[in-house]
Structure 1
């Protein structure tokens, strides 16, 4: 297979912007989240002991089946030399990915959790007439209910956060690089240079004043128009939070990646 790398990390942290920038390089394919992570989970389940016929499946067959799924999904209609697949689930799948692609890299987008919650709440309020998939289309909640649901272990933010910590502290952390949203929007050239160095690719001159990416049809279908909209020019947003201050301050100390002493695996944080 062609080289394949992964974009993962926390929601509302710049993964769509990163994919839009990577796509400027004709050697690369990158996009918003793909269905592959869910397909991997489904296949692992079907090849597990819950299927009585799994006794006939060896681990090598499991590897070939899963690698074949990637090869089939990224077929001739994706002519790029290097593939970047995106999903927030990938951070929790490093042991699986290590079995399939020994040389893979994973770029995890991170951001201060307070601003992630703020960004999600803004998107929900912007589409007030359309209950959000981010909250399983529930209605009648307050901002406190919404934040609590997103922060829970199986919530939009909580699951990704726990998966990120698993990858950061796990034995496969050498495959991982953390890209801070703040770096990407304030120093995009430096951020992209670090990514190219991390994956061992030759440099490419990106245009940070003319970023193009359109998944408006997908956002419309999910009831969240504008959710993945990317500004034409990379720039840091200048705004105050829409969250009550007690919620905003609740997450101020959750950026574990900023604690150098806790970085026991020496993960690169950009």
Structure 2
């Protein structure tokens, strides 16, 4: 993992690394497989978490200064929800964080080795923020039925997250729903919060139905980052070739360039073995003993 600047002209550096015990990873993978979600605590140290949070607020300011709005009425009822998109184009720390070894290990457990980074965004729920629409990520981009998991979120908790300050709300068992007809009329009453300490990650597969929570506190923010990963045959939310600054493109590793879908072949992933016809189906003979000529 590359080093991360702590200031614009950094004199000190920090490096993301996995400190999570393998037993914790294994337990989280099992819970994610069985329930569609899991929580892993202490993926970031307190120092790392504070650094990322400070860079997030700086990124939000930069996002506004370049003419982008942090309030999206199509998503949120009021401006107390601060949305910051294209994080990886705004700051190197987010290009490093999206590749955190714990996150990648969990992604590959769900999606396999062949995946893309669709987006990396922030949702800061300030006091007074309200819930967005109930949805699953896959329901937004593909038709029914949803019978396989083709996307997942790694949610970085930069504040302590709990019901009152706007924890993401989800419906347990909703990852088994395959059509909108499965959504019960009492869906709202089934919502439960993802509660976690700052520095934790919440893993959520693309079939889990969820919404942002309302922040009913007087003075507590709730900052979350959403790393959204998909199988490569789903179109990415962001065209990173168009969005990434040219000076940043030159610094990207070959691996990150590929995971951002920025190579020439972009999303042309190999999802099956491509072997020559003769290797898989050797030429056969006709009943008369004559070999096929094609």
More helix as a share of residues: 1
TM-score range with shorter-chain normalisation? under 0.3
Q: Which has the larger radius of gyration?
A: 2
When normalised by structure 1's length, the TM-score is 0.23
More strand as a share of residues: 2
